[in-house]
Amino acid sequence: MRRAMLALLGLAVLGAGGFWIVTTPSRVSADSLPAYTPDLANGKAMFHAGGCNSCHAIPDEDDRTKLGGGMELKSPYGSFYAPNISPDPRDGIGSWSEADFVTAMWKGTSPDGRHYYPAFPYTSYQYMKLEDVRDLFAYLKTLPPVQAKARDHAMRFPYNMRRLVGGWKLLNLDEKPFTPDPTQLAEWNRGAYLVNAPGHCAECHSPRNGLGAIIKSQRFAGGPNPDGEGWIPNITQAGIADYSVGDIEEVLTSGATPEDSVGGSMVAVVRNTSQLSKEDRAAMAIYIKSLPPIEGPKPPPEAK
């Protein structure tokens, strides 16, 4: 009996040790980054494609380039508070190196080696090209520094244990770069990249499982609004078969749909997508129109 207990204890220690090892946050080293001159115009496009200010701008602040953080993002696991990503050296990312920023975007790891919660959608940003991430970093550094430390997240137990996110990442980050489809035209591939990488559209427009990961087989098929009330629409052809490419482009340009207009968080998205080039929006629309029909979960019947 005693030997069995000791064996179990030994296994538990090995298991915890193993878990600790496999959940070590991974980093991108500065040595791996070749010399590079950033393109600020592209950085600005990535800023709008990525929608950074939708979460990181100070709430209710008119100037959406003040990325002082503080916005609350409610979730089934607790409340997240978006951090300050302005170039302030003390309260923001002003003292970050390029490698720190690439590590955050690709690996979801902080400069001091902690896991970020996937409320920060690095599950999509991991597919961004290195040049685009570096351009974005350079552009962010041109924005006004904001002195404001956002409050810590308020996560329920056990979600407040950051190390557990390491396990989640093993299941959900595939460490593969974005690969264009050689059978598709360049415009389609551009749209596929913008939607899946910086655009991170699937992060809202997909249903999630009990561990908060996107259900891959129902990607883009809509689901409960992850950060509030209501139901996020299915944007596969099972949801928007009656929208033409032009209709989808119009949504991204002005928020107007053939029936009326978008609401909720999509308004903030359109504030950004409206700043992209017409070609980029057209590419995104072409890609979205091509999504094969996938039935998503059904919204609950409306309360009467």
Partner 1 sequence: MLRTILAIIAVAVGVSAVVAQTDPIATRKALMKKNNEHDRNLRQMVRGEAPLDATKVNEAFAQWGDTARQLPNLFPDNSKTGQDTRALPKIWETRSDFEAKIAAFGKAVADNKDKAKTLDELKVAYADVNKACDNCHESYRRPSQRQPAAPKQ
Tokens coding 64: 């959406």
- Output the smallest distance, CB 253 to partner 1, in A: 9
Task: Identify the residue among 53, 86, 218, 265 touching partner 1 (CB under 8 A).
Answer: 265
Residue 293 to residues 65, 190, 200, 222, Cα–Cα distance (Å) = 37, 21, 19, 12
Can you tell me whether residue 302 is helix, strand or coil?
coil
- If you search the block for the tokens 């979600």, which residue do you land on? 159
Cα–Cα distance measured from residue 121 to residue 198, given in angstroms and rounded to the nearest whole number: 9
- Output the smallest distance, CB 27 to partner 1, in A: 37
Choices 104-112, 115-123, 187-195, 223-231; region in contact with partner 1 by CB under 8 A:
223-231
Cα–Cα distance measured from residue 276 to residue 283, given in angstroms and rounded to the nearest whole number: 11
Cα–Cα distance measured from residue 43 to residue 241, given in angstroms and rounded to the nearest whole number: 33
Cα–Cα distance measured from residue 252 to residue 207, given in angstroms and rounded to the nearest whole number: 22
Check binding of 240 to partner 1 (CB under 8 A): yes
Task: Identify the residue among 79, 225, 275, 290 touching partner 1 (CB under 8 A).
Answer: 225
- Residue 144, strand partner residues: none
Task: Identify the residue among 173, 231, 275, 290 touching partner 1 (CB under 8 A).
Answer: 231
Check binding of 78 to partner 1 (CB under 8 A): no
- Output the smallest distance, CB 108 to partner 1, in A: 27
Convert residues 35-74 into a mask of x (bound to partner 1 by CB under 8 A) and - (unbound). ----------------------------------------
Give the footprint of partner 1 on this chain (CB under 8 A). 225, 229-233, 237-244, 247, 254-257, 259-268, 270-271, 299, 302-304
